[in-house]
Amino acid sequence: MRIDNEPAYVLHARAWRETSLLVELLCEKHGRIGLVARGVQGPKRHPLRAALQPLQHIRIDAVQRGELARLNSAEALDAAPRLAGDAALAGFYVSELVLRLAPRNDPHPELYRAYGTARGRLAGSDPLAWTLRRFERELLEALGFGFAFGEDGDGEPIDPAARYRIDPEQGPRRLLSDRGQRDRDEAATGRALLALAQDLQPSADDLASLRRPMRAVLAHHLGGRGLKSWELIAQLARTKPRIAES
């Protein structure tokens, strides 16, 4: 199969053999694909190598005959956002989610657009946690795992004054008033769920309440193996607590 003039985002790239790269891409029309970029490590191939860095938006020509495609050409469509610190880690997290949850060779144009939007927001002024929660919502929806955040699993409207756990299959479930403090700490506020449903940034406290319930949903779909970015966030949070918000 030929892949011609295809826009794509670079999710991951690693060295392979002496002069080549193994690259994972999220393409507009072909979904997530893996490819081999041969002979890109020499000094004369710097432009091509630079175009294959994570978060770069590129256009490619390639040929796919097996599991991995062979890259023929690639050109950058713009300059990748220059991220540092928490934003760089958030970019790693967004890409890792796509790598782990999006199946190969299965087109998801909504996910392609959501990734591009999140990529732009990471370099903007919105809180990183809000950018990540929005992307998680859009990723779940694009992959067929989504649910309505404005109503509970029984179809009842979300009560802004209540707290909710999020069932990965059925959506929000109202937390009973007699549950302990730990259960409440791991549940989202109704206000936060309504804000996410309406794509309106909630208060800092309500936004923070979404992190653990959304992580539980993602962990369910990831199976028994978590994300490397979660492990890194946990390690860094011991010395830099603010990053735990991501």
pLDDT digits 0-9 by tens, 121-130:
999 999 999 9
**How many angstroms separate the Cα of 151 from the Cα of each of 69, 158, 171, 173, 217?**
43, 5, 8, 9, 16
Is domain 2-76 annotated with CATH 2.40.50.140?
yes
* Crossing angle of the two packed helices 128-142 and 211-222, in degrees rounded to 10: 40
Return the structure tokens found at 55: 């978060």
Residue 195: pLDDT band (50, 70, 90) is: very high
Q: What is the pTM of this model?
A: 0.91
Same fold, 2-76 and 86-245: no
The ranges assigned to domains in the chain are: 2-76, 86-245
Domain at 86-245: CATH architecture: Up-down Bundle (1.20)
- pLDDT tops 70 at residue 182: no
